[in-house]
A = this chain, B = another copy of it.
Amino acid sequence: MDWCFMRIVIDAMGSDNHPEPDVVGAVEAAREFGDTLILTGDKNQINPILSQQDTTGLDIQVKHTFQAICMTDKPSEVIKSKPDSSVHVGLKLVKNGEADAFVSMGNTGAILGAAMLRAVGLGRIKGIKRPSIGVIFPIKSRPFLIDNGTNAECKPEYLLQFGIMGSLYVERMRGITNPRVGLISNGEEEGKGTELIREAGSLLAASGLNYVGNIEPKEFVFGSVDVAVCDGFTGNILMKTAEAIAKYMSEEIRTQIQAGPVTAVGGLLAKPAFAKVRKQLNPEEVGGAPLLGVDGVVIIGHGRSSAYAVKQAVRQARRMVENKVVEAIMTGLTK
């Protein structure tokens, strides 16, 4: 199989402003990577956007679907009731070998639910208890946080599997041998944390992973681990606190700089430095988060993604295919 060119499905009905960012992102991805891009969704909405783009020499296909899943749809209700949604059709293309990866900026719960079920989507990898979404944190050391909110309530074995999947993901995607895996807790000392943490810690310590023990958010932020394991509730709080504080600080610094004429001039001169930090912290650079533990490559992005973020999500999807992450998890679990 030639990995240079791939067939990537993009859910054109995914983002909050769909199909514009999704379609434009697909065009940009096709141009940059030379891949075949398959857009699933309502052709009557997709084609007008597509016709405004210069697609000369690009292979972009539209796969019309009669249904779409909204952000407000309850996952449990639409997974079985909307078999012809852009999500379902997209996942089926991957399942049937007609595409290599599925990318969506849509309803996370619905995508997760559909992807997990073998009957409508891809199905879980054998042995995986809970598929999980991990996220590359947009800070310098690029640590991988798993779970980022998919599984609010976890058992110790789930956390063990998150650690295994995260370790394999980082090994394949970043070329780090034996990635350092830590367990997010409210203190580094063994014995700290909840019962869940203590039991998961024992499992991770015996797993053969390069497990460094409990870590606090500062170790995560300042590069002490490559993979940070936590339940989805904790991961979500951590991620959203980081986003909120970064935004808060940017706004406060801007306000204080603009409060006086001298600091305002200083701020103007220092602008390129701020821009660099902003770019570094921008989650759009990462583009999306991998859904690990299902039998195929799935990348899920933010609803408010731009075309640029969609393209970056495709970049991540194709790298996951290239580096055979799904195959690595299949093999890694049975080791």
How many Å lie between the Cα of A197 and that of B237 in the bound state?
Answer: 13
Given contacts A263-B273, A265-B269, A270-B266, contact A237 B240 (CB under 8 A): no
Task: Check: A238 CB closer than 8 A to any chain B CB.
Answer: yes
Binds B, one of A19-27, A200-208, A241-249, A285-293: A241-249
Tell me which residues from 176 to 230 in chain A have a Cβ below 8 Å from any Cβ of chain B.
184-187, 192-195, 197, 216-218, 220-222
Tell me which residues from 267 to 291 in chain A have a Cβ below 8 Å from any Cβ of chain B.
267-274, 276-277, 280-281
Do residues B244 and A273 form an inter-chain contact, with CB atoms below 8 A?
no
Given contacts A269-B269, A273-B267, contact A221 B244 (CB under 8 A): yes
Q: Using Cβ atoms and an 8 Å threshold, which residues of chain B touch A186?
A: 149, 152, 232-233, 236-237, 240
Q: Using Cβ atoms and an 8 Å threshold, which residues of chain B touch A246?
A: 245, 249
Interface size class, chain A:
35 or more
**A240 CB contact (under 8 Å) in B218, B240, B248, B270:** B218
Q: Using Cβ atoms and an 8 Å threshold, which residues of chain B touch A276?
A: 256
**Closest B residue, CB atoms, query A216:** B240
Do residues A253 and B274 form an inter-chain contact, with CB atoms below 8 A?
yes
How many Å lie between the Cα of A197 and that of B236 in the bound state?
Answer: 14
How many Å lie between the Cα of A85 and that of B253 in the bound state?
Answer: 44
Q: Using Cβ atoms and an 8 Å threshold, which residues of chain B touch A221?
A: 241, 244-245, 247-248
Do residues A194 and B152 form an inter-chain contact, with CB atoms below 8 A?
yes
A selection of 17 A-B contacts at a CB cut-off of 8 Å is A153-B194, A153-B195, A186-B240, A221-B241, A234-B234, A234-B237, A242-B245, A245-B249, A249-B277, A253-B253, A256-B273, A256-B274, A257-B273, A263-B269, A266-B268, A266-B273, A270-B270
Task: Check: A57 CB closer than 8 A to any chain B CB.
Answer: no
**A241 CB contact (under 8 Å) in B245, B259, B265:** B245
Task: Check: A140 CB closer than 8 A to any chain B CB.
Answer: yes
**A237 CB contact (under 8 Å) in B222, B238, B249, B281:** B238
Task: Check: A139 CB closer than 8 A to any chain B CB.
Answer: yes
Q: Using Cβ atoms and an 8 Å threshold, which residues of chain B touch A262?
A: 269, 272
Most buried by B among A216, A259, A280: A216
